[in-house]
Structure 1
Amino acid sequence: MFKKNVDAKALQRLSGADKKKLRRTAKQRFPQASDDDLDAILPPKVEITVAKYPSRTLVYGIEGELPMLFDIDGRGHELFPTVYALWKVPYLLPAFTLKGGEVSHFILGGADLMFPGISVPPEGLPSFQAGQPWSVKVPGNPAPIAVGTTTMSNTEALKAGLRGKALRIAHYYKDLLWASADGRYVPNEGFYDDMVIEDPNFASASQHIDSSEDPSEGKQDKAAVDVSECLTEDHAINSETIENVTAGVSELNLPQEKTTEEQTEEKEHQHLSTEEIDSLLDICLLQALHTNVKDKDLPMPGSILWYVYIVISH
């Protein structure tokens, strides 16, 4: 929605009565929010301003600081928190979690969220109805990156085979509403200009909590993400390719034990020169361009090429 630069018609302070009305509307729209949550985004003892846009959209903010809420229709029926508000209260809205940080590149480019891009928990999809406000998160990062409206219920989504559009994105990190704030910032080290990945500090804390988790499982999940499928319904996973990969893995014969002599010899073989490493990287790049990168994906940032097609797919 905030993809084009449009100047506000007017900026004014809310009266005491209007502030109370806005707070009541926010409580109805975000029923899980506590009084403390609302105080965090609409502090009771500060001035709240409203900016009116030609499209009837209203943007509410803390005077001299950050935009906190926006109302698409100007009547309170489509009131949303900004990402700044969600970074203060991350659980203000229920959230869909992406399959991987690489999918966030497309959300930050203005695309809507498709069901194939969502990570479905083991217990299945949570309950939701069409027309509800939800946020979007990246695995391993507690800070939401976007907000939008659900296009169908969870029951309808299951009937559709978890295909199609899940969330019509209304606002996202890096759009013009985010950029309109003088004090714009990012909440953690996982936020980059063209992509959001896990927060290193959050991931480190999670490892201390659950040290028994197998890190190879997460890596396999990341490698399994089909980025193009997260944007359109017209792409399906090639079952023949999956069968070939599965067959190849099953044919591997891994030795159970190695002698000291064999281990020493293996280490000698694993020592690569700089030229050999460069050559291997060239091969990985050419392989990625030949097998995974599609014409419609180009041009793409170098960070996406490296992270999505070389690092996690090697």
Structure 2
Amino acid sequence: MEGGNRLFRYIGGRLLQSILVLFCVTVFAFMLIRITPGNPAQMMLPDTATEEQIHEMEIKLGLDKSLPMQYIQYITGIFRGDLGFSTTYRVPVSDVIPSRLISTGKLTLATVICGCLISIPLGIIAGAKRGTAIDFFAVFFALLGQSMSPVWLAVLNVYIYSVWLGWLPAMGSGGLIHIILPMVTLAYPMAAEITRISRSGMIDALGEDYITSTYAKGIKRSVVYRKYAFKNALIPVVTLVGLQVAGFLAGTVIVETVYAWPGIGHLITQAVSNRDYALVQSLLLISATVFTIINLIVDIINSFIDPRIILE
């Protein structure tokens, strides 16, 4: 019963921290347009707009009210699903983002599945069989992947598989074949990092005193690996995967731009280049919300894997 209360208190504390972070993000996103040089209303209108049209836009945006009232209006708009009007697409922001978020979600899911299926078994086996051929391969695989720039890898993939061999399309999102190149570009560096972390975690876990004690009790090596070492090696892996997922969902700007993948990252570049402040503000808020929620989920998962985290 006491353990359950500690768990609820831990989750409640993390939830309150997440709410505080989101509050700070809303304040920053709100102030983003207000501290930008120039008149936001004028920036949303053509250069030929008259003073009367600018004033009407200020009233429409609520810029004629005090800052506290503007913030309240901004928050209530968020809860109503009103994120503002996109000057790039000439439609409400809430109509632009969902389809882009779905596209990024598909790419993220494919990348994480591909990356984890390769890296976690490779890292765990390499850590358990330290000094063997598979360990050396895992180290080489991780070092090579971490040394590659995503931009360089994206361009290399396009040149080899699209331009030279002609096997895969270089851009677009018409079907499953279009997801292969951006997925590989994102999955390899991710898999390299997870391989390194899972290998190190397994080596550290096998070096603990309680693992030596289990061997002394005559417990089979396979049982020790599966029941004790693997669980402890999994904690940093879960944390890293969570951060990677949050980063992908928040927008992989470079990769989506290179492959013209219609996701959040591609949308961010368009919004910034077109000075679409309402869209930039909303994307900032959504990205921060995704990071916060994923981190909260990771903390909860880790607390179930290792209850000692709650005591700390």
TM-score past 0.5 threshold: no
The structure with more helix, counted as a fraction of residues: 2
The structure whose RCO (Cα within 8 Å, separation 6+) is larger is 2
With the shorter chain as reference, the TM-score category is: under 0.3
Q: TM-score, normalised by structure 2?
A: 0.23
